[in-house]
Amino acid sequence: MTNIMLSAAPSMDFAERMAYGLQVFVVGLGTVFAVLVILWLALVLFKVFSYDLPQKKAKKLAEEAASKVEAAPIVEETPISVIEEPVSDDTQLIAVITAAIAAYNAQSGNSLPFRVVSFKRAGGANGWSGK
């Protein structure tokens, strides 16, 4: 197939080349758009089934749970023991983490400036450990 076209190419005049080029242009770019639009539609379905529906379901469950709590009879108040989390000053820890991020960014060649907006524990008393 390749040989046929290579031998035919020099015999094509300018108008034929233009017509042929236009044909490849339209079909080629059209195919690229068609494939990527189909992928787009597939990804929209992803969103519906993996993100929107589960979120709606979770919201519905939360509403149901809230309505059940409201409907439940109040029996009697029992003293609840509250375990208080030890409150500590994390200023130094935050400074260390900020410095670590800055050092990492500098090492990986990322010169983008960043601003610390908030720090949040991952959970538990040892939340900073990342476990």
Partner 1 sequence: MLESILNFLESTGIARLFNMDSGWDTLKTIAMFGIAFVLVYFAIVKQYEPLLLLPIAIGMLLTNLPGANMFHLDFFIQQDISFSQVLHEGGLLDILYLGVKLGIYPSLIFIGIGAMTDFTPLISNPKSLLIGAGAQLGVFVAFFLALASGMFSPQEAAAIGIIGGADGPTAILVTKTLAPSLLGAIAIAAYSYMALIPMIQPPFMRLLTTEKERKIRMTALRPVSRTEKIIFPIVVMFIVGLIVPDAIPLIGCLMFGNLLNVCGVTDRLSKTAQNELMNIVTIFLGITVGATASADNFLKWETILIVLCGLAAFCVSTTGGLLTAKIMNIVCGGNTINPLIGSAGVSAVPMAARVSQKVGQEYDPSNFLLMHAMGPNVAGVIGSAVAAGVFLSWAW
Q: How many residues bind partner 1 (CB under 8 A)?
A: 38
Nearer to partner 1, 51 or 125 (CB): 51
Max Cα-Cα span within the chain: 98
Site string for partner 1, 12-51 (x = CB under 8 A): --x--xx-xxx-xx-xxx-xxxxxxxxxx-xxx-xx--xx
d(C-alpha 28, C-alpha 51), whole Å: 34
Site string for partner 1, 75-114 (x = CB under 8 A): -------------------------------------xx-
In the complex, minimum distance from the CB of residue 130 to partner 1, in angstroms, rounded to a whole number: 17
Are 20 and 12 contacting, i.e. CB atoms less than 8 angstroms apart?
A: yes
H helix runs in the chain, sequence order: 2-8, 14-47, 53-71, 91-107
Are 59 and 51 contacting, i.e. CB atoms less than 8 angstroms apart?
A: no
| Position 56 contacts partner 1 (CB under 8 A) | no
| Position 122 contacts partner 1 (CB under 8 A) | no
For residue 24, the one-letter residue type is: V
Are 114 and 105 contacting, i.e. CB atoms less than 8 angstroms apart?
A: yes
Where on the chain is the footprint of partner 1 (CB under 8 A)? Answer: 1-6, 9, 14, 17-18, 20-22, 24-25, 27-29, 31-40, 42-44, 46-47, 50-51, 54, 112-113
